[in-house]
Structure 1
Amino acid sequence: MPAAPAALGSLRNDLQREGEGHMAKAYVFTRHGGPEVEALVDLEPPEPGPGELLIAVRAAGVNPVDFRLRGGYRRPGQAPAELPEVLGSEAAGVVARTGPGVEGFAVGDAVFGSTLTGGYAEYTLLPVAVAAHKPAGLSFAEAATLPVAAATAYDGVRQLALPAGATLLVTGAGGGVGGNAVRLARHWGLRVIGTASEGKKDVVESLGAVHVAPGPGLVERVRALAPDGVDGVFDLVGGEHLRTVADLVADRTKLITAGGKQIVAELGGSAVARARDAATLEAVAELAAADVLRPHITATYPLDRAGEALRTVETGHALGKVVIEVGVVSPVPG
């Protein structure tokens, strides 16, 4: 039932007071390095600038790019880290304040998107250019997993533009991006072969792909399923694995990667062209709400255990998505 006007006004007043005049918890890295440089600290909530939303974070997705940024990696065009830097690239929450010139969003709106100031925090900024309203049918935790893995998969499968009935090879099909790529490809009528460890075989097959184990003999195993090779390759592994599967696709414009960018250029392929816009987020949200990209969340952690959440992903032990829930104390499955 929609909130009554008085109740909504009270909510907005409470949210406007949030982030004003007090410190907030955030999980940061204090210098570049390994887990030893991480810390839970108190920081002043950021101030939303033009075209920005300050949100009270309800959930943040955990991704491999998070520990890579901690280690010193920067995305093309990304400014050097201002230490301490809050970890996390995606979040969902409730708009607490809006910056100048913001249209289409109001205090109290449930939103999600790519973060400007890190998602492992009680408050973060979302640029409206990469933010969207959360569908009512998705939880905050589910919405928080969409901007990185689901959107990368969406951009990549669309970039390949394979016709229905074509065969797509997804390497690393048991991971966050890979699993979403399999779901999308199957939804759009493609046959999918997915490489993943034996431990992720059941997951890959449950998504509708034919599982193939990596390692020696990989090309032969794939050719046993696709004697003439595959029509496209969506790589999430990089390295020698990417070199190995490249010969399975004759048209190298149909060879893309979200990892081995330098190697794929040498092979005649290309990196996934990320759209990074609100339209893509809205599209993946609709697909998630329709159960096509419904996130498979396997573990949730509270903010004060963000380090454990990141270790789960960093060690490669995560099956599905790991989420940090802010302000909600959740048991860790298993």
Structure 2
Amino acid sequence: MPKAYVFTRYGGPETEALVDVDRPSPGPGQLLVAVRAAGVNPVDWKLRTGFRRPGESGDRVFPAVFGNEVSGIVEATGEGVSGFAAGDEVFGNTVAGGYAEYALLPVEVTAHKPAGLSFADAATLPVAAATAYDGVHQLGLPAGATLLITGAGGGVGAAAVQIARALGVRVVGVASEGKKEFVRSLGAVHVSSGPGLTHRVRSAAPDGVDGVYDLVGGEVLAEAAGLLTDRSKLITAGAPERTVADLGGARVARARTAAVLEAVAELVIKGDLNPHVTGTFPLERAGEALRAVEGGHARGKIVIEVVR
């Protein structure tokens, strides 16, 4: 039977297990994909703790498979699917988990993988890079403007820095001192996180910042908001809607379309976006991959590879 990495109830790492599962069957509008790689994201372990995404409701069915983004090869197509066939190399968001040998993908959030894009890199794009893309384009800053990105050393942050830089936007990236060189290598001016953030940002950007893309939330979000004169240019993927609305900003509006996936893939092919896969683990070591992200110190992206 196929393998999948799951959590059997809400809680900590003790709820995780590699188990045998039935091979899924694609429903209408779905693709069955033989997974080659799965991206690892902070939301994966947060869901294990009982976290719910904005707008999510209903009871979770256990065991629940980890993961929200994969790349792989189409095995079968469901009713009503057009534009995809068995054997196609694809990447996209999952219906119900991706740390597995097989996953279901909704056709509307699945794209063909370009030949020049590796499976590992493709698996990092549907969540982090697409979120970064949506947020940067939501802000709509012109070339020459200055964007402050908090959490610039993580998966979404690193992608957002590069996407903004490709549009000619100057970026000030907030990250830990340990990620200083990494953030600088992306093309951003690094500012250390921690007390005194406002002073350090103003020193790095004496003419002020024109937009804020927050990936941290909490006090960091509130402090960053104080650097803006136009709060409509404040967005977050790190705080609840109500919190950022009280500050005059908004959540990142996710497009969740194949067109966005195609756009970020093209940025990788052009050399404007490097997914920075900094660690890969086989499915049998999925727990280690998750710990690398859950610890909060991973730079770039962690990927689980399914060896066949």
Larger radius of gyration: 1
Counterpart residue type for residue 73 of structure 1:
F
Question: Secondary structure of the residue that 1:211 maps to in structure 2?
Answer: strand
- Residue pair 2:90, 2:111 contacting (<8 A) in 1 also: yes
* Structure 1: 4+ residue segments shifted above 3 A: none
Report the equivalent of 1:303.
Answer: 283
Counterpart residue type for residue 301 of structure 2:
K
- Residue pair 2:191, 2:204 contacting (<8 A) in 1 also: no
**2:134 is the alignment partner of 1:155:** yes
- Residue pair 1:145, 1:295 contacting (<8 A) in 2 also: yes
Report the equivalent of 1:84.
Answer: 63
Deviation, structure 1 residue 56: 0.3
Report the equivalent of 1:57.
Answer: 35
Percent sequence identity is: 69
**2:198 is the alignment partner of 1:198:** no
Matched residues in 2 for 1:280 and 1:226: separation? 31
Report the equivalent of 2:7.
Answer: 29
Counterpart residue type for residue 263 of structure 2:
A
Unaligned runs of 5+ in 1: 1-22, 329-334
Matches within 5 A, 1:142-291: 142-261=121-240, 262-291=242-271
Superimposed CA distance per residue, residues 104-155 of structure 1 (whole angstroms, 9 cap, x where no aligned partner): 0000000000001211000000000100000101111110000010000000
Question: Secondary structure of the residue that 1:316 maps to in structure 2?
Answer: coil
Deviation, structure 1 residue 79: 3.8
**2:271 is the alignment partner of 1:318:** no
Higher relative contact order (CA 8 A, sep 6+): 2
Matched residues in 2 for 1:310 and 1:215: separation? 25
Matched residues in 2 for 1:224 and 1:29: separation? 45
Matched residues in 2 for 1:108 and 1:216: separation? 52
Matched residues in 2 for 1:52 and 1:96: separation? 11
Deviation, structure 1 residue 73: 1.4
Question: Secondary structure of the residue that 2:27 maps to in structure 1?
Answer: coil
Counterpart residue type for residue 23 of structure 2:
P
- Residue pair 1:29, 1:84 contacting (<8 A) in 2 also: yes
- Residue pair 1:229, 1:250 contacting (<8 A) in 2 also: no
- Residue pair 1:243, 1:263 contacting (<8 A) in 2 also: no
Counterpart residue type for residue 315 of structure 1:
G
Question: Secondary structure of the residue that 1:260 maps to in structure 2?
Answer: coil
Matched residues in 2 for 1:77 and 1:325: separation? 28
- Residue pair 1:50, 1:100 contacting (<8 A) in 2 also: yes
Counterpart residue type for residue 267 of structure 1:
L
Question: Secondary structure of the residue that 1:44 maps to in structure 2?
Answer: coil
- Residue pair 1:171, 1:236 contacting (<8 A) in 2 also: yes
Question: Secondary structure of the residue that 1:208 maps to in structure 2?
Answer: coil
Match of 1:74 among 48, 52, 63: 52
Matched residues in 2 for 1:246 and 1:41: separation? 45
Matched residues in 2 for 1:90 and 1:25: separation? 17
Deviation, structure 1 residue 78: 4.8
Deviation, structure 1 residue 293: 1.6
- Residue pair 1:27, 1:40 contacting (<8 A) in 2 also: yes
Q: Structure 1's 105 and 79: CA in aligned 2 closer, same or farther, altered over 3 A?
A: farther
Matched residues in 2 for 1:111 and 1:294: separation? 19
Report the equivalent of 1:93.
Answer: 72
Matched residues in 1 for 2:37 and 2:57: separation? 24
Match of 2:274 among 266, 275, 294: 294
Deviation, structure 1 residue 320: 1.2
Matched residues in 2 for 1:265 and 1:45: separation? 43
Matched residues in 2 for 1:169 and 1:312: separation? 26
- Residue pair 2:149, 2:171 contacting (<8 A) in 1 also: yes
Matched residues in 1 for 2:130 and 2:183: separation? 19
Q: Number of aligned pairs?
A: 306
Matched residues in 1 for 2:32 and 2:92: separation? 12
TM-score by length of 2: 0.97
Match of 1:109 among 72, 88, 95: 88
Q: Structure 1's 221 and 317: CA in aligned 2 closer, same or farther, altered over 3 A?
A: closer
Deviation, structure 1 residue 317: 2.4
Report the equivalent of 1:128.
Answer: 107
